[in-house]
Amino acid sequence: MVWLLISLLVLGLLAAFLGWYSAHKDEEQPVVTAATCATCNGNNDRCEQDCMMEAATKPIEYFDDEELDQFKGRSSDSYSEEEVELFDYVLNTMQQPDLAPWCRSLTLRGIELPDQLKDEIVSMLE
């Protein structure tokens, strides 16, 4: 009878230790990832600023939109409906992951987006 009680006590202590060990073993340290330009999503102004500065040191990336270079230096409220449609066409052929880099490309090229499309672009970026 004494051996049975000792065995149950040892088994209980072993179970308690294994429970404690597995609970602490499963606790993982949080993974800290540094924001890169590939992960910038527009929510972090610092990330966007750093990416814009980084992009300014590299060649400008084009998204098959060289025809938009004719609008360099134009203000965002001066586009005609036909010109807005040209921007809209490029925008609607763009894939979601390319949208933020495309906006950076336009900024670096000195091209302002038409006011009529800014709300649509902001909603697409969110």
User: Is 75 within 8 Å of 83 (Cβ atoms)?
Assistant: no
Query: And the tokens for 81?
Result: 């409906």
**What's the confidence (pLDDT) of residue 12?**
74
Q: What is the DSSP string of 61-99?
A: P--S-GGGGGGTT--TT---HHHHHHHHHHHHTS-HHHH
Domain that holds residue 118: 61-125
**What's the confidence (pLDDT) of residue 25?**
65
Using one digit for the tens of pLDDT, what is the confidence trace for 55-95? 667 788 888 889 999 999 999 999 999 999 999 999 989 88
Question: Is 74 within the bounds of a domain?
Answer: yes
Q: Could you tell me which residue, 37 or 18, shows the higher pLDDT?
A: 18
Q: What's the alpha-carbon Rg for the chain, to the nearest Å?
A: 28
Which of 71, 67, 73, 60 lies closest to 102, judged by CA? 60
Using one digit for the tens of pLDDT, what is the confidence trace for 30-42? 555 555 665 665 5
Question: Is 6 within the bounds of a domain?
Answer: no
Reported pTM: 0.58
Q: Count up the domains in the chain and report the number.
A: 1
Question: Is 11 within the bounds of a domain?
Answer: no
Which of 97, 96, 93 lies closest to 39, judged by CA? 97
Question: Is 52 within the bounds of a domain?
Answer: no
